[in-house]
Copies of this chain bind each other. A is one copy, B any other.
């Protein structure tokens, strides 16, 4: 089976690639090849036993999609996007990449025809929802995004469902919680601080907390995100019907609870590296974000998180990213 990952150089893309190469199969099928696309070259995996092709291309290039799907990959992971903060500032760029790019992709798939109907796993976002919310956002709550990014994700969900309904592809959209702890360096996502306040102190660095401790948010670990993607790629969609976009399970915690978990796992010295510095722009964006979900449908369809508590999330970060060590 050939697999295409769009946006493979991003954090989730890299984690997914590692996992696929480690497993060597997806579900019960051996992986015969992996194509890794991104606007910057995805890192070439060392000692991979599976042929890996690196493609560097602009996802918003109208002519870019056809070559990517020409080899008819059976599974396509569509993780390509510019993040919320950037899409808000760069209005045209956001629509070009997050909306037009997706349309080029699904049109290129459709253009192949001839029975080609790949599993398309699309990473949507909880940013499709906009305040005010119920205490828990249910599976039938409407989309009123308060960012252009959320608008673009919501539109892509609709397109994915329609193209699936018409039989042009076999799509499933999964709304990832905010991924925490996001490894690496801060990106332009307005949600970055949720990870920064854990990752940076554990690495011995100061982190800025731009919102108050009572801000509640919805999280899942990178391990969970990869698990969701693999399940979405392999689950039986024959009976899912036309509602092909799902909010994924996660943990609802406040910033204060995140910090308390950090204190339990790593101690007060680490927590002392968090510096409170309110940022009205971030506070404004985050105020419009969801805080908690009931994800009954996803759970019934077999999606599960890798963690039970935020302490688990911190521990898995220390294990996966820091080799079990952190700066006390």
Separation of A141 and B144 alpha carbons in the complex (Å): 11
Instruction: Mark A138-160 against chain B: 1 for CB-CB distance below 8 A, else 0.
Output: 00111111101001001100110
Separation of A158 and B144 alpha carbons in the complex (Å): 8
User: A158 near B130 (CB under 8 angstroms)?
Assistant: no
| Copies of this protein in the complex | 2
Interface size on A, residues (CB 8 A): 21
User: A145 near B130 (CB under 8 angstroms)?
Assistant: no
Q: Which residue of B lies closest to A95 (CB)?
A: B103
Tell me whether A159 and B166 are in contact in the complex, defined as CB-CB below 8 angstroms, given that A144-B242, A146-B242 are known contacts. no
* A60–chain B nearest beta-carbon distance, Å: 15
Q: Which residues of A contact B (CB under 8 A)?
A: 91, 130, 140-146, 148, 151, 154-155, 158-159, 161-162, 165-166, 242-243
Instruction: List 15 additional contacts besides A91-B166, A141-B142, A155-B155; criterion CB under 8 Å.
Output: A130-B242, A140-B141, A142-B143, A143-B143, A143-B158, A144-B161, A144-B242, A144-B243, A146-B165, A146-B242, A148-B162, A148-B166, A151-B158, A154-B158, A155-B159
> What 10 A-B pairs are tightest by C-beta distance, nearest first?
A151-B162, A142-B142, A140-B142, A155-B155, A151-B158, A144-B243, A154-B158, A155-B158, A148-B162, A146-B242
